[in-house]
Amino acid sequence: MQTDPKQWRVGLVGYGEVGRILAEDLRAQSIAVSAYDLKLDNADTAAPLQTHAAQHGVALLGASGELAAGADLIISAVTASQTVRVAEACADSVRRGSFFLDFNSASPGAKQRAAASIDAAGGRYVEGAVMTSIPPYRIKVPLLLGGAHANALCPLLNAMGFAAKVASEQLGVASATKMCRSVMIKGLEAMVIESFTTARHYGVEDAVVASLYETFPGIDWEKQAAYFFQRVIEHGRRRSEEVREVAETVRDAGLTPWSASGTAERQAWVADLADSGVFGPKGTPEFARSADWRVEADRMLAQVKPRNER
Secondary structure of 63-78 as H, E, C letters: CHHHHHHCCCEEEECC
Distance CA 125, CA 96 (A): 11
Q: What is the pLDDT of residue 310?
A: 59
The helix (run of H) or strand (run of E) holding residue 79 is none
Query: Which residue, among 102, 113, 46, 34, has the nearest Cα to 70 in the 3D structure?
Result: 34
Share of the chain above pLDDT 90, in %: 86
The CATH T-level fold of domain 175-309 is: N-(1-d-carboxylethyl)-l-norvaline Dehydrogenase; domain 2 (1.10.1040)
36 bridge partner residues: 13
The sign one gets for the Cα dihedral 170, 250, 117, 155 is negative
Model confidence at 285: pLDDT above 60:
no
60 bridge partner residues: 35
CATH classification number, 5-171, choose in 3.40.50.720, 2.120.10.70, 3.30.365.10, 1.10.579.10: 3.40.50.720
Model confidence at 287: pLDDT above 60:
no
pLDDT tens profile 52-73: 999 999 999 999 999 999 999 9
- pTM here is 0.86
pLDDT tens profile 233-242: 988 998 999 9
Determine the average pLDDT of the residues in 90-106. 95
CB neighbour list of residue 201: distance below 8 Å, 6 or more residues apart = 301, 306
Q: Would 5-171 and 175-309 be classified into the same CATH topology?
A: no
The sign one gets for the Cα dihedral 59, 103, 259, 297 is negative
Domain range list for the chain: 5-171, 175-309
The single-letter code of the amino acid at 104 is: N
Residues in the chain: 310
Q: What is the pLDDT of residue 309?
A: 72
Composition of the chain by helix, strand, coil, percent to 5: 60, 10, 30
Query: Which residue, among 240, 259, 120, 294, has the nearest Cα to 180 in the 3D structure?
Result: 259
Query: Which residue, among 78, 84, 128, 123, has the nearest Cα to 102 in the 3D structure?
Result: 128
pLDDT tens profile 203-232: 999 999 999 999 999 999 999 999 999 999
